[in-house]
Amino acid sequence: MVQINHIPVVTIVTRHSADCPFVGEEGYKRCGCWKHLRYRENGKPRWLATKERTWAGAERFKTNFLLQRDPAHAHLAAAQARAQVTVRDAILAFLKDKKGEDINEKTYGAYDLQLNRFLDYLDAAGVVLLECVALPHLSSFRAAWPKLYPAPGSRYLVQARLQTFFAYATRAYRLAYNPMADLSPIKPQHVQTKPFEPDEYKRLLAALPALFTGERAERGRIRQHLHALIELMRHSGLAIQDALCLPRTSLVKDASGYRVVTHRVKTKVRVSVPIPPAVAARLLAVHSGHADYFFWDGKIQRDSLVHKIQAHLRQVFARAGMPKAHSHMLRDTAAVEWLKAGLTLFEVSKLLGHNPATTAKYYAPWVQGLQDNMEAKIRANWKAAHKKELLQ
C-alpha cells in the first residue's frame, strides 16, 4: 500500500467472533466485537489489536499509534484528540457542567432527556464522533419533534437547549464548525398576556365558598389554602411553585408593613414585594402541617404539589365561569396592575424577578405611559419640522 511520509496507511477493521451475525463485514462498526488495525510495513501485512470494542475507541487508538510512529506530527495531537471526541462524552461533560451551575432539577431533567434522545438518534444513524454531526442530522432529528413535542413552544425550547449544548461543545473542544448555527430557527409561539379583570377576580374569590365542602376537604382546609394562595399570587406576582413553597420566614414585617422576600425557584433571582395587610393576615392564618412553610408540608414533591393545586384551581376557574383561565394569570394580573399604577417596566421586572427585556416582551402593551410618550415624541417632531419650514 502507498505510504506517505513513512507513515503506513492504517485501516480499522472488526474481527468478528464466530457467532456474530456480521461475520465477513470487517467494516461494520456497531457490534461489540474486537477492533484491530491493519497496515503494511516493509511490504508485509501487519495486524495490531486495539483492545477496543467500540469504533470510537479504535479511532483514538489509531491516532495515538500514528503519532507515535511520526513524532514530527505531534503538534497535531490536540487537533486529532478533538476529532475523536464522541457525542456521548460531550453530552456527559455538558451535563456535568450544567449540574455545576446548580440549575433546578426540572431543567436539568429536560436537558438530560432531550440530549439522550439526540444520542439515540445519532447511534441509529451510525454517527459516533462529535465532529461528524452535520446539519442534515439535525434537520432529520428535528423532523420527529412534532410527535414528541406537540406544542410549538416546546419545540422552540428543545432547539434552544440543543443550541446551548453545541455552543458548549464548540468552546470546550474548539470545534471548527457548529452545525446548529445553520439550522433554521423555530419561531416561539407568543402567548397573549391576559390578566384577570377586576370583576373576574371578584368572581374567582366568590366561587370558593361553594367548592370543597366535603368533610375531608374541610379537614384539609382546602378553601382556606386556595383563598390565601390566590390573593398571595395576585398581590405578590409570585409564580405558583414559588408561592406554594414559600417559607414562613419570607413574610417580613417592618415599619412600612408586610413584604414577601424570597428567591425564585426558576431563576434564583431575589424578589422583595410589599403586600396588603389583609393578604398577610390571611397568609398567617394558613397551617400546612409544617412549621416552616405556609402551604407545603415538606414531604410531597414540589412538582406533585403544583399539579395537585393546579387541579383544584381548575375547579375554581370553571365554577367562576372561566374554564380557560390558568394560575399564571394571577401573576399577570399583579404585573398589569403595577403598570397601571404607574410603575415602570424596569420596576415591574425587579418585582417579578425578570430581566427587563422579558418584562417588556410580555407586558409592554399594557403600559399606557409608553404609548403616551411615543405619541408625544411624534407630535414634537411634527412641530419641529413645521417650525423649520417657516424659518426657511
Q: Was domain 87-182 assigned CATH 1.10.3720.10?
A: no
Tell me the pTM. Answer: 0.59
**Cα–chain-centroid distance for residue 196?**
28
Task: Report pLDDT for 72.
Answer: 57
* Antiparallel, parallel or unpaired: β 257-263 and 251-254: antiparallel
Task: Report pLDDT for 2.
Answer: 36
Task: Report pLDDT for 175.
Answer: 83
Question: Nearest-CA neighbor of 59 among 82, 90, 40?
Answer: 82
Copy the grid coordinates of residue 55.
469504533
Opening angle at CA 169, ends 149 and 151, nearest 5? 10
Alpha helices in the chain (DSSP H): 55-69, 77-83, 87-100, 105-124, 135-142, 145-148, 152-173, 198-207, 215-220, 222-236, 240-244, 277-284, 302-319, 328-340, 345-352, 356-363, 368-391
Please state, in angstroms and rounded to a whole number, the distance separating the CA atoms of residues 220 and 282: 16
**Residue whose grid cell is 428567591:** 263
Beta carbons within 8 Å of 129's beta carbon, 6+ residues apart: 56, 59, 83, 84, 85, 86, 87
Please state, in angstroms and rounded to a whole number, the distance separating the CA atoms of residues 281 and 386: 59
Task: Report pLDDT for 13.
Answer: 92
Task: Report pLDDT for 189.
Answer: 63
Task: Report pLDDT for 1.
Answer: 35
Task: Report pLDDT for 183.
Answer: 92
Beta carbons within 8 Å of 34's beta carbon, 6+ residues apart: 14, 15, 49, 50, 51, 52, 53
Please state, in angstroms and rounded to a whole number, the distance separating the CA atoms of residues 219 and 53: 62
Task: Report pLDDT for 378.
Answer: 82
Task: Report pLDDT for 18.
Answer: 87
Q: Look at the domain 198-338 and name its fold.
A: hpI Integrase; Chain A (1.10.443)
Whether the Cβ atoms of residue 198 and residue 206 lie closer than 8 Å to each other: no
Strand partners, 48: 37
The domains of the chain are located at 11-83, 87-182, 198-338
Work out the burial of residue 182: count CB atoms within 10 Å of its CB; fewer than 13 is exposed, 13-18 middle, 19 or more buried: exposed
Beta carbons within 8 Å of 342's beta carbon, 6+ residues apart: 369
Task: Report pLDDT for 58.
Answer: 86
Task: Report pLDDT for 4.
Answer: 41
| Residues with pLDDT less than 50, the chain | 1-5
Does 87-182 match 198-338 in CATH topology? no
**Cα–chain-centroid distance for residue 127?**
26
Task: Report pLDDT for 3.
Answer: 41
